[in-house]
Structure 1
Amino acid sequence: MPIDAVKALAAEERTTDITWDHKDVQLYHLGIGAGIPATDPAELRYTLESRLHVLPSFATVAGAGMAMMGGLAAPGIDVDLAHVLHGGQTIELHRPIPVKGAARTTARVAAVYDKVKAAVVVLRTEAVDADGPLWTSDAQVFIRGEGGFGGERGPSGRLPDPGRAPDRTVDRPIREDQALLYRLSGDWNPLHADPAFAARAGFDRPILHGLCSYGMALKAVVDTLLDGDVSRVTRYTTRFAGVVFPGETLRVRMWREHGRVRVEAVAVERGEAPALADTVVDHT
């Protein structure tokens, strides 16, 4: 069987030493659409090394961001990448990410859930540097056709409707070449660049990385409701509810709640097709 849940959960943690500096941070920020307008002081915090701060979602690509792809090669997991979609992502920040850093990451399969028609594998990565814990990242990977093995279905992360109009709504255009730029931060899945591979996966053209939309939405929240202060974010979680294509517009809706912001993101040009759902930014 392609997925052996018992074997995957029992596998040893994989430890990797990673480093990053301002160039990695700047490339990531450009990959999620920062720098427009290029001379805007608010954007220079994402693009100019002398003013740089680090958006917390950078944790998903630090050290080339290969924890998720490496996790899919863990013992007990043998799947076709064409059947793999990123189902959800959670990052817990233990403190702000430095512009330049070195950390040791440990990665393991934290859970395997049986959704009958698919399996969901939760890949957990923890990063620690010389000063202690930096972040904990959980990637929920949806693997079509690999369910039905008799495992637990897992928890539901669905949230009730906010029941009111959003407090803020912003539109973020996605460039035609955005996926090509974003993948330079480490996610080389051909689904985001190769039309033939995308067709094999059931799409008429390459799709944008879910984690690119994830970063775009967080930046919108930080810039709009958190006074541009990335250090206020303590946790960020989402469910990838649908795909986004390069060239579309990401509409981000935000609801203020006590100590958190509820978020929804949709693709404007396809009738506001869902992109990010059940999304929450916890903050101080």
Structure 2
Amino acid sequence: MSTDLTGAGSTGTELTGAAAWAGRALGERTVGYTETDAILYALAVGAPAGDLDLVFEDRLRVLPSFGLTLAQWAPDVLAEQGAFDNRAVHGSQELAVLKPLPRSGEILLNARVGEVWDKGAAAVFNVIVECEYFVATWSLFAPGFGGFGGDRGPSKSAALTEEPLGGASVQTVANQAALYRLLGDRHHIHIDPQAAERIGQKRPILHGLASLASATLPLAELAGAHPADLVQLAGRFAGVVFPGDEITVRTWEGGRFDARVGDQPVLTEGLAVFG
């Protein structure tokens, strides 16, 4: 499959560097899963064994954020194609839910690179995955790949200054990263102490997507909703969570939230809307 790397509808000048990846197709993939996979996911993001709607096949409702594990292959494809190097980090995540995921089955996913923003010292690659059930967008922050003269993209949102409407917490567990990696993200920093040490961490860290999904459980409770009723989710990853940490969330009007471990922010610019 060939991809047009010229400026769409503008001067026709050939794009170079990180800009050349904008709009590139990353392919289609049919991904299957079982009820067991959906239950494992719920447990791996902190659902208690007593929440039968999430962990018992007879009453199962699939958490919408499970779709992010089904689509994880797409940003991995971009990395494998050499768009950036191993300094790149997952900066933020968005999820728009179109309809509930089935309890099991196969889903056709289509992936592409969206906009590529120039932050000067870094580039931000947006990877978009679409299917009939959701649209998910990864923003990947790649140091050393900026400076190509492109649009800077949106700035960070202003810090929330008004008093939060409410707060709650969720307790992660010591084996949570070990469980979550069984769903597909096998990066060594989540299981191997030596790999974690190489990135400056004292021990393996919890996956950012696991932290984000874990936060939706108390957020749903604060909203008086079921976690499977999530229709929109977003968050910027601002710090690490270690398995066993307690994540505290605070909420504001319109579904806005943040999350902390102690006094350290771990999720900012959060949005969780339930139908």
Task: Tell me the TM-score normalised to structure 1 length.
Answer: 0.85
Q: Which residue of 2 aligns with 1:19?
A: 32
Check whether the contact 1:55–1:219 (CA below 8 A) recurs between aligned residues: no
Q: Which residue of 2 aligns with 1:278?
A: 269
- Superposition pairs for residues 59-78 of structure 1, below 5 Å? 59-62=67-70, 65-74=72-81, 77-78=83-84
Q: Which residue of 2 aligns with 1:7?
A: 20
Q: Which residue of 2 aligns with 1:168?
A: 166
Paired residue type of 1:88: S
1:263 has 2:260 as partner: no
- Superposition pairs for residues 48-127 of structure 1, below 5 Å? 48-62=56-70, 65-74=72-81, 77-80=83-86, 83-127=87-131
Residues 236 and 250 (structure 1), Cα distance of their counterparts in 2 relative to 1, 3 Å cut: same
* Greater displacement, 114-123 / 213-222: 114-123
CA separation in 2, counterparts of 1:238 and 1:10? Answer: 23
CA separation in 1, counterparts of 2:129 and 2:226? Answer: 27
Check whether the contact 1:261–1:281 (CA below 8 A) recurs between aligned residues: yes
Check whether the contact 1:59–1:135 (CA below 8 A) recurs between aligned residues: yes
Residues 31 and 15 (structure 1), Cα distance of their counterparts in 2 relative to 1, 3 Å cut: same
Question: SS state of the match for residue 275, structure 1?
Answer: strand
Deviation at 1:67, TM superposition (A): 2.1
1:251 has 2:248 as partner: yes
Aligned residues: 260
Q: Which residue of 2 aligns with 1:190?
A: 188
Q: Deviation string for 1:74-112 (max 9, x for gaps)?
A: 4x61412xx122100000111111111321111111121
Check whether the contact 2:84–2:145 (CA below 8 A) recurs between aligned residues: no
Question: Structure 1, unaligned stretches of length 5 or more?
Answer: 128-132
CA separation in 2, counterparts of 1:189 and 1:137? Answer: 20
Deviation at 1:159, TM superposition (A): 4.3
Question: SS state of the match for residue 150, structure 2?
Answer: coil
Deviation at 1:188, TM superposition (A): 0.9
Check whether the contact 1:108–1:124 (CA below 8 A) recurs between aligned residues: yes
Task: Tell me the TM-score normalised to structure 2 length.
Answer: 0.87
Q: Deviation string for 1:159-180 (max 9, x for gaps)?
A: 451511x232112112122111
Q: Which residue of 1 aligns with 2:207?
A: 209
Q: Which residue of 2 aligns with 1:141?
A: 140
CA separation in 2, counterparts of 1:23 and 1:261? Answer: 30
Paired residue type of 1:77: A
CA separation in 1, counterparts of 2:98 and 2:161? Answer: 28
| RMSD of equivalent CA atoms | 1.9
Check whether the contact 2:26–2:77 (CA below 8 A) recurs between aligned residues: no
Paired residue type of 2:21: A
Paired residue type of 1:141: L
- Superposition pairs for residues 9-48 of structure 1, below 5 Å? 9-35=22-48, 38=49, 40=50, 43-48=51-56
Paired residue type of 2:38: V
Question: Structure 2, unaligned stretches of length 5 or more?
Answer: 1-15
Check whether the contact 2:34–2:104 (CA below 8 A) recurs between aligned residues: yes
Deviation at 1:52, TM superposition (A): 0.9
Q: Which residue of 1 aligns with 2:157?
A: 158
Q: Which residue of 2 aligns with 1:130?
A: none
Deviation at 1:203, TM superposition (A): 2.0
Q: Deviation string for 1:3-32 (max 9, x for gaps)?
A: 932431253341101112211111111111
